Structure 1
Amino acid sequence: MFMFLFLVIALAVVVAAVTLAVVGGGESAALPEAEPERLDDPLPPDRPVGRSDVEALRFPLAVRGYRMAEVDDALGRLGAEIAERDSRIADLEAALAGARASRRGMDKPGEGDHQ
């Protein structure tokens, strides 16, 4: 009976010691917080994002990571769509400038207005 009690107490001490070792044993033994990896944002703050900005964008890897091919495909598509959008905007701005210039030419007083 004495031996059984001794084994139960010894087992309880071992379990407590292992638990304290795993948990950390208190505040003084706690590990410092690790800083998470952050994306060094290379996107320009002073101008609109362009296709080359998207193509140069790279994300840091984490423990679980990400599927690089999928992210690269998505960034490629975004870059192409941004380039297409920028081209369309430039075309529309040129057409608008041409229409304004044409209208200014027609609105000049004295040309075609004889009263």
Structure 2
Amino acid sequence: MSHPMMWVFAVLIVLAMGGVALLAAGRGEPMAPAYDDRPDALVPATRALGADDLRRVRFSLALRGYRMGEVDELLARLARELEGDRAPGVPGAGGGPAPAVLVRVLAESWAGGHPAGSDILDFSTESVDQVESSLDQWSRRDGRGPATEDADVWAAGSYLGEVLVRAVPGARWSQHLAYDGTPVVEMPSGRFANPIGRAMERYDGDEGDSVIAFVEAALAAEEGTR
């Protein structure tokens, strides 16, 4: 390329950069206002989710993100289910079963972000040892709050419930008046297991409230009914 042509391209590049600078400075046609794509509303971590929480939540945008229309539709459906407003013919209409997808997402998110990693927290019965260890460590933290306000304890309890659901064919997340709205696992035999409640007891108590023993007892009781 000749030297004159090189200078022409250089001038064009400088002019283009100058135009961008003018627009950014507010001259000419202004640039579109920057949009902060961080979540506009965060899901509360210290209490149970409500329908209004799902309606307010916004997700961060990413290069290879989800279709926002599909995400919005899912959130709207989950909000309706939390209010017990399921469509006719859908299992659980009238507020029976808990929105299992929410508990499952909470458990999977916690397992994926845990320092132990998903190789250990793989929802096997053996992985409950790690949950026991985590609850024990958290219970010794200085200035810790009550279990009902600790997001990690809720997530660990959700994880324990998912272990039971995946280990016992026919087990499912449900709700029962006796547990004050806390999601519990309903076994095929009709028994109810309260993994979130046991996680809280372990956090507030001692080794006598072992979550390992809780899972083993729940599995053994169900095995005895077959």
**Do both proteins adopt the same fold according to a TM-score greater than 0.5, normalized to the shorter chain?**
no
Scaled by the length of structure 1, the TM-score of the pair is: 0.42
Bigger share in helix: 1
TM-score w.r.t. the length of structure 2 is 0.25
Higher RCO (Cα < 8 Å, 6 or more apart): 1
